[in-house]
Amino acid sequence: MSFAAVDVIRTKRDGFSLSDDQIDWVIDAYTRGEVADEQMSALAMAIFLNGMTDPEIARWTAAMIASGDRMDLSSFDRPTVDKHSTGGVGDKITLPLAPLVAACGAIVPQLSGRGLGHTGGTLDKLESIPGWRASVSTEDYLSQLSSVGAVVCAAGDRLAPADKKLYALRDVTSTVESIPLIASSIMSKKLAEGAGGLVLDVKVGSGAFMKDLDTARRLAETMVRLGSAHSVPTVAVLSDMSTPLGRTAGHALEVTESVEVLAGGGPSDVVELTVTLAREMLALAGLSDVDPAKALADGRAMDVWRRMITAQGGDPSAALPEAPEKHVVTASADGVVTRMDAYAVGVAAWRLGAGRARKEDPVSASAGVVMMRKPGDTVRAGDAIFELHTEEVSRFEGALEALADAVDIGTEYVPSPLVLGRVRG
């Protein structure tokens, strides 16, 4: 069935629901180039302004999945489960989480992305490991899942290609924040991976795309309902991103910290969230009786990490890139660190070379921010708060501007929970 794009746009512009046939046609036609970018931009803005019903979002997601291939993981004799984070600062959780869950008996098919703006990308972090490659053929992907139990790699061009086109369009038309479009974008890719269960880490706070808890919960609920509509059990964990995760923001820096977690150490917040998400993933996989904390402590997760990195050409024992230029930012007063703004730290890491303004921009593997103090730590005037890492001295100025109001020092710190809630199907 064929439609006129202008009629589809008008339907949504005037506040009506799109029919299944209209949705199927417009996604397919846009993927093939029959619907122009200008027309899809108008439709995206109409969706942004007028929203979508749950049946519309479910059909829109299904149409984007149908625009490409869907992985078939049914042949594995172990349960498959995946995780997705909506993105944040210092969010290195996938790195220890994927091998940890695999060490506990599940298969983790983790297709990941690159960073954009102030948020870091998992593939950018892993590419700081010498030799590691993000691109994996379908044959090697399935073989690695069978032999290692976990893959973290880039999605192929045939996985939800409609989303790739629409995502780029949303980025330049100020329609990124639309919950129906965010939810369908994330879930079309994740459902196309073919995992039997999905855990969503929905970030909340200044360093996240969702700044407040109510909006984040609405997004989480929408995605969980989408998982149910597509017969994939889905759970969302709402986690705080007002403060950066861990003590590093930057690619090689975060890999180093992730390896510390896999070795049984690392920052307490990174360990807490990794274990929390692992337990949710294992529950969906029917492995609730397995304790992921033990798999961190006894080295099983580290063993899987080494095999996973090696399988994709990386050397897990190799030295990571180190920035030639460093600058220390010190405390201006005595007291307790009461606040550290995640967004400001993310922007500083970006300006130091760890981030990109456009998807095609290169990133520096060694650039980033080390947080020498975090909220709750006592400081004296002159103590180091941040250590900035970059390849170019000229980048310090912009990073220092971003951090000018990033930290508060007071007399009392009131801790807030890292996990703010859960949404279950």
DSSP 113-172: ---BTTB--HHHHHTTSTT--S---HHHHHHHHHHTSEEEEEPPTTSSHHHHHHHHHHHH
Q: Give me the domains of the chain, ranges plus CATH numbers.
A: 5-51 (1.20.970.10), 82-318 (3.40.1030.10), 325-410 (3.90.1170.30)
In 3-state terms, what secondary structure has residue 373?
coil
User: Which residues make Cβ contacts (< 8 Å) with residue 40, sequence separation at least 6?
Assistant: 26, 30, 165, 166, 169
In 3-state terms, what secondary structure has residue 65?
helix
As a whole number of angstroms, the distance between CA 281 and CA 288 comes to: 9
Structure-block tokens of residue 179: 């919950």
Annotated active-site residue 189? The verdict is yes
Count of Cβ atoms closer than 10 Å to residue 324 Cβ:
11
The residues pairing with 201 across neighbouring beta strands, listed in sequence order, are 85, 237
Query: Residues 284, 288, 292, 298: is their CA dihedral positive or negative?
Result: negative
As a whole number of angstroms, the distance between CA 265 and CA 283 comes to: 24
Annotated active-site residue 163? The verdict is yes
What is residue 174's predicted lDDT score, i.e. its pLDDT?
86
Annotated active-site residue 133? The verdict is no
State yes or no: pLDDT of 240 exceeds 70: yes
Question: 331-387: per-residue pLDDT in tens?
Answer: 999 999 999 999 999 999 999 999 877 767 789 999 999 999 999 999 999 999 999
Count of Cβ atoms closer than 10 Å to residue 359 Cβ:
13
Spatial contact of 145 and 76, defined as CB atoms under 8 Å apart: yes
Q: 198-204 and 82-85: which strand pairing?
A: parallel
In 3-state terms, what secondary structure has residue 262?
helix
DSSP 279-324: HHHHHHTT-TTS-HHHHHHTSHHHHHHHHHHHHTT--TTSPPP--S
CA distances from 220 to 51, 179, 235 (A): 16, 9, 8
What is residue 4's predicted lDDT score, i.e. its pLDDT?
94
Give Cα 4 to chain centroid, integer Å. Answer: 36
List 59, 84, 125, 225, catalytic entry: 84
What is residue 48's predicted lDDT score, i.e. its pLDDT?
96
Bigger pLDDT: 45 vs 177: 45
Count of Cβ atoms closer than 10 Å to residue 362 Cβ:
8
Q: 368-371 and 384-390: which strand pairing?
A: antiparallel
Question: 293-326: per-residue pLDDT in tens?
Answer: 999 999 999 999 999 999 999 999 999 999 999 9
The CA angle 64-66-72, to the nearest 5 degrees, is 115
Question: 121-161: per-residue pLDDT in tens?
Answer: 899 999 999 999 999 999 999 999 999 999 999 988 888 99
In 3-state terms, what secondary structure has residue 361?
coil
Question: 24-73: per-residue pLDDT in tens?
Answer: 999 999 999 999 999 999 999 999 999 999 999 999 999 999 999 999 99
- The letter for the amino acid at 340 is M
Q: Please compute the mean of the pLDDT values over residues 179-198 and round it to a whole number.
A: 95
What is residue 359's predicted lDDT score, i.e. its pLDDT?
67
List 12, 114, 125, 189, catalytic entry: 189
Query: Residues 49, 226, 197, 272: is their CA dihedral positive or negative?
Result: positive
List 24, 82, 91, 163, catalytic entry: 163
What is residue 118's predicted lDDT score, i.e. its pLDDT?
79
As a whole number of angstroms, the distance between CA 358 and CA 100 comes to: 32
State yes or no: pLDDT of 248 exceeds 70: yes
Structure-block tokens of residue 70: 């869907």
User: Which residues make Cβ contacts (< 8 Å) with residue 125, sequence separation at least 6?
Assistant: 92, 95, 251, 252, 254, 255, 258
The residues pairing with 85 across neighbouring beta strands, listed in sequence order, are 201
From the number of C-beta atoms within 10 Å of its C-beta (0-12, 13-18, 19+), residue 293 rates as middle
Q: How many residues does the chain have?
A: 425
As a whole number of angstroms, the distance between CA 31 and CA 352 comes to: 36
What is residue 156's predicted lDDT score, i.e. its pLDDT?
82
Question: 72-123: per-residue pLDDT in tens?
Answer: 999 999 999 999 999 999 999 999 999 999 999 999 999 888 776 778 789 9
Spatial contact of 380 and 373, defined as CB atoms under 8 Å apart: no
Q: Please name the helix (run of DSSP H) or strand (run of DSSP E) that holds residue 385, with its range, or none.
A: strand 384-390
Question: 374-420: per-residue pLDDT in tens?
Answer: 999 999 999 999 999 999 999 999 999 999 999 999 999 999 999 99
Q: pLDDT band for position 209 (50/70/90)?
A: confident
Spatial contact of 366 and 250, defined as CB atoms under 8 Å apart: yes
- The mean pLDDT value of the chain amounts to 95
Q: Please compute the mean of the pLDDT values over residues 197-214 and round it to a whole number.
A: 96
- pTM, two decimal places: 0.94
Q: Please compute the mean of the pLDDT values over residues 241-264 and round it to a whole number.
A: 98
